[in-house]
A = this chain, B = another copy of it.
Amino acid sequence: MEATSSTPKRRGPPRSLREDDLLDAALSLVDEGGPEAASVRGIAARVGVAPNAVYTYFRDRSAVIRALVDRLLGGVDHDVFADRSQPWRARVESLALELRRQLATHPGVVPLVIASPLDGPQALTLHERLLEVFADAGLDDVAAARASYLLVTYMLGSVALDVAGALKPGPLPPEPARVAARHSAFAAASADRFPRASAAAATVAAYVSTEQYLWGLRRLLDGVDPESEDAPSAGAEPNGRIATGHGSTCPRSS
């Protein structure tokens, strides 16, 4: 939770008041009307200036979108994620849940995030910390880079698919409702032509999707974890050491 949603928690270069006003307007427009709604003219109107006044602060519309996306990424809570005294898996899960929570609060932004270069300061800060976590987990540079890329792919892909389809309206209905909607959409599509898909829709509907999200995350971390097995782990002091790449890799099944 943040104090005010318009001031997420920044550490980067100071952004002009006016600039933040424009981004606030853009975000509220996206929240109300989806990704397309953040038009230059709409933003200007909401702030009370002429459309072309926006170009004093941003080169073009895409620059507005990029700034909006990066500012939103600044809203994820690093408390657990950045705490190097915590076990690395807990840190990763914390990031995953925090990022998902933040994006689910603004579903209209998700398509913008996934189409963005993710090279803003906030995105780089997240990436940096994620690499740190995997280094602390004992992965070498290459393994950490790959694991990090894999994780980002998973987190953003999940949220994007979650949000896809029923994206039109405003806030985003509660999770059970979303699951039910998704279920009926798939189940409706001829159970005899697609028997497995229909059945899968039914079974998936039985699981709230946050649980599915964590399940996938854990399967993925199992594949990346250098410790692998159930082994009580023992050592695993952060940063410094082991790194030998992940010895025995075999995972446990579902």
Q: Which residues of A contact B (CB under 8 A)?
A: 111, 114-119, 121, 124-125, 127-128, 131-132, 135, 139, 141-150, 152-154, 156-158, 160-161, 164-167, 185-186, 189, 193-197, 199-200, 203-204, 206-207, 212, 215-216, 218-230, 245-246, 248-254
Contact = CB atoms under 8 A, between A and B. Distances in A.
B117 A197 contact: no
16 contacts: A111-B111, A114-B161, A119-B189, A125-B194, A131-B196, A131-B200, A139-B254, A141-B200, A143-B254, A152-B161, A157-B161, A160-B160, A226-B254, A229-B250, A246-B253, A250-B250
* A interface, over-half SS: helix
A131 to B, nearest CB: 4
A219 B216 contact: no
Given A228-B250, A254-B139, A219 B150 contact: yes
B204 A228 contact: no
- Among A186, A197, A246, the one with the most B-chain Cβ atoms within 10 Å of its Cβ is A197
A165 B116 contact: yes
Closest 9 CB pairs of A and B: A157-B157, A219-B223, A117-B165, A145-B200, A131-B196, A153-B157, A222-B223, A150-B216, A223-B223
Contact of A200 (B118, B127, B246): B127
A194 B127 contact: yes
